[in-house]
Structure 1
Amino acid sequence: MSKINELQFEGRVLNWLREIIEAEKRLPFEADQEVPINIDGETLRADLVIWEDKERTKTACIIELKRPEYNGYSLELTENAMRKANFLGAPFFATWNVNEFVLWETFEEGTPLLERRRWHQNVVAIKRLEEVERRAVEERLKRFLQGFLTKDFFEICFVKKGVPTLPLDRLFIDRLRSAVNTFYIRISEDLQAESEENGEFRQRLRDWFGEQGWVFGEKEEDFDRVARLSVLLLIAKVLFYNFLKVRAPGFGLKPIKILTEDADRFKTQLYKYFGQCFGYAEFFRREFVDDLPFPNDEAVVRQLKGFLKEMELYDLSKIGYEVLGSIFENLIPDDERHKFGQHFTRSDVVDLIIGFCVKSGEERVLDPACGAGTFLTRAYVRKKAKTRAKKEHSEILSELKGVEIAEFGCYLTRVNLAIKDIFAREFCSNVEKTDFFDLVPGEQAKFEAVVTNPPYTRQEELEATFSPGYNYKAKLKKIAKEAGGGGGLEVGKRMSIYGYFFFHAARFLAEKGRLGFVTSNSWLDVDYGKYLQQFFLRNFKVVAILESKEERWFEAADVNTCITILERCDKEGLRRKNRVKFVQLKKPLQVFVEQSGGEEARWKSVDRFVRFVEGSKGFYEDERVKIYEVEQAKLWEEGFDEVSGKYEGAKWGKYLRAPAIFFKILEKGRDLFVPLREVAEVRFGIKTGANEFFYLTEEELKKWGIEREFWCHKEGEGEGGKWVPNYVIKSPRECRSVVVKPEDLKYRVLMIHKEKAELKGTKVLKYIEWGEERPREF
Structure 2
Amino acid sequence: MEKPTEDTYVAEFVSVTKQLGALLGFDAEFNRKTPSGKPDIIIYYKNKPVAVIEVKEPKIPLSDPSLNEQALRYADWYRKNRDVLFYGIHNMKYLNLFKFVQKEQREKTLLDFIEGKKTLWVPVSNFPFKIIPWAKSIDDYKQISTNNRAQENLQDFLLKFKEILEGKTLDLSSDVIEAIRRYIEEGANRGLTKFEDMYRRNEENVRELFEAWRSERGLDKPKNDSQLREFLGLMIKEQLYTFSMKVLFYLVLQSIDAEMAAKLKENLASVEPSDPLIFKRIFDMLFAYAIDKTGDFEEVFGTNTVDKLPLVDATLQSLKELISYLSQIRWSEINVDVIGRIFEGLIYTERRHLLGQHFTDTAVVDLILAATLKSPGRLIDPACGSGTFLVRALNYWRAKYGYKKENYQFIEGIDIDKLASMLSKINLYIQAIKEIEDKIKYYPKIRHSDFFKEMLPPEFSYVTTNPPYTRQEEMAMAFYDKEYKKWLDETVEDIPDWSKRASIYAYFLVKGAKLLKEAAD
Pairwise same-fold verdict (TM > 0.5): yes
AA aligned to 1:399 is: F
Instruction: Provide, for residues 48-81 of structure 1, a one-character-per-residue CA deviation record: whole Å limited to 9, x for no partner.
Output: xxx99xxxxxxxxxxxxxxxxxxx9982279999
**Match 1:263 to one of 252, 266, 276:** 276
Equivalents in 2 of 1:198, 1:172: separation in Å?
36
5 Å-filtered alignment, 1:208-219, equals 208-215=213-220, 217=222, 219=228
5 Å-filtered alignment, 1:365-380, equals 365-380=379-394
5 Å-filtered alignment, 1:209-608, equals 209-215=214-220, 217=222, 219-249=228-258, 251=260, 253-254=262-263, 255=265, 256-258=268-270, 259-277=272-290, 278-281=293-296, 282=298, 283-297=300-314, 300-327=315-342, 330-361=345-376, 363-386=377-400, 391-392=404-405, 395-419=406-430, 420-421=432-433, 422-423=436-437, 424-441=439-456, 444=457, 446-463=459-476, 465=478, 470-479=482-491, 481-482=492-493, 485-487=494-496, 489-492=498-501, 495-511=502-518
Change (3 A) 1:252 1:465: closer
Q: When the two structures are superposed, what TM-score results if normalisation uses the length of structure 2?
A: 0.62
Give yes or no for contact 1:322–1:347 (8 Å, CA) kept in 2. Answer: no
Equivalents in 1 of 2:357, 2:516: separation in Å?
23
1:207 corresponds to which residue?
212
Give yes or no for contact 2:132–2:144 (8 Å, CA) kept in 1. Answer: no
1:691 corresponds to which residue?
none
Q: Greater share of strand residues, 1 or 2? A: 1
SS at match of 1:382: helix
Give yes or no for contact 2:186–2:318 (8 Å, CA) kept in 1. Answer: no
Give yes or no for contact 2:247–2:323 (8 Å, CA) kept in 1. Answer: yes
SS at match of 1:403: strand
Instruction: Provide, for residues 101-141 of structure 1, a one-character-per-residue CA deviation record: whole Å limited to 9, x for no partner.
Output: x942349xxxxxxxx4689xxxxxxxxxxxxxxxxxxxxxx
Give yes or no for contact 2:276–2:311 (8 Å, CA) kept in 1. Answer: yes
- For the pair 1:104 / 2:153, whether they are aligned, the reply is yes
Give yes or no for contact 1:402–1:432 (8 Å, CA) kept in 2. Answer: yes
AA aligned to 1:257 is: A
Give the number of aligned pairs: 377
Give yes or no for contact 1:341–1:456 (8 Å, CA) kept in 2. Answer: yes
Larger radius of gyration: 1
Q: CA deviation at 1:341?
A: 1.8
Q: CA deviation at 1:360?
A: 0.2
Change (3 A) 1:365 1:165: closer
Instruction: Provide, for residues 571-625 of structure 1, a one-character-per-residue CA deviation record: whole Å limited to 9, x for no partner.
Output: xxxxxxxxxxxxxxxxxxxxxxxxxxxxxxxxxxxxxxxxxxxxxxxxxxxxxxx
Change (3 A) 1:232 1:216: farther
Equivalents in 2 of 1:449, 1:265: separation in Å?
48
SS at match of 1:219: helix
Q: When the two structures are superposed, what TM-score results if normalisation uses the length of structure 1?
A: 0.43
Q: CA deviation at 1:262?
A: 0.6
Change (3 A) 1:339 1:400: same
Change (3 A) 1:502 1:370: same
Equivalents in 2 of 1:279, 1:81: separation in Å?
41
**Match 1:171 to one of 159, 171, 175:** 175
SS at match of 1:247: coil
Change (3 A) 1:433 1:214: farther
Equivalents in 1 of 2:384, 2:132: separation in Å?
32
Change (3 A) 1:358 1:304: same
Change (3 A) 1:223 1:165: farther
Equivalents in 1 of 2:278, 2:443: separation in Å?
32
1:656 corresponds to which residue?
none
Which structure ranks higher in relative contact order (CA pairs < 8 Å, sequence separation ≥ 6)?
Answer: 2
Equivalents in 2 of 1:213, 1:431: separation in Å?
23
Give yes or no for contact 1:402–1:431 (8 Å, CA) kept in 2. Answer: yes
- For the pair 1:94 / 2:157, whether they are aligned, the reply is no
AA aligned to 1:327 is: I
Change (3 A) 1:460 1:79: farther
Give yes or no for contact 1:414–1:431 (8 Å, CA) kept in 2. Answer: yes
Equivalents in 2 of 1:285, 1:117: separation in Å?
42
Q: CA deviation at 1:86?
A: 4.3
Q: CA deviation at 1:385?
A: 4.6
Change (3 A) 1:251 1:372: same
Instruction: Provide, for residues 457-516 of structure 1, a one-character-per-residue CA deviation record: whole Å limited to 9, x for no partner.
Output: 12243355566x62334443443x33xx35361242xx33212211221222220xxxxx
Q: CA deviation at 1:194?
A: 2.9
RMSD: 3.9
SS at match of 1:372: coil
Equivalents in 1 of 2:346, 2:221: separation in Å?
22
Equivalents in 1 of 2:441, 2:391: separation in Å?
17
Give yes or no for contact 1:86–1:106 (8 Å, CA) kept in 2. Answer: no
> Structure 2: where are the runs of 5+ without partners?
1-7, 9-18, 21-129, 161-165
Equivalents in 1 of 2:318, 2:477: separation in Å?
36
Q: CA deviation at 1:432?
A: 1.2
> Structure 1: where are the runs of 5+ without partners?
1-39, 41-50, 53-71, 96-101, 108-115, 120-161, 512-567, 571-778
SS at match of 1:359: coil
| Percent identity between the two aligned chains | 29
Change (3 A) 1:280 1:237: farther
Give yes or no for contact 2:131–2:154 (8 Å, CA) kept in 1. Answer: no
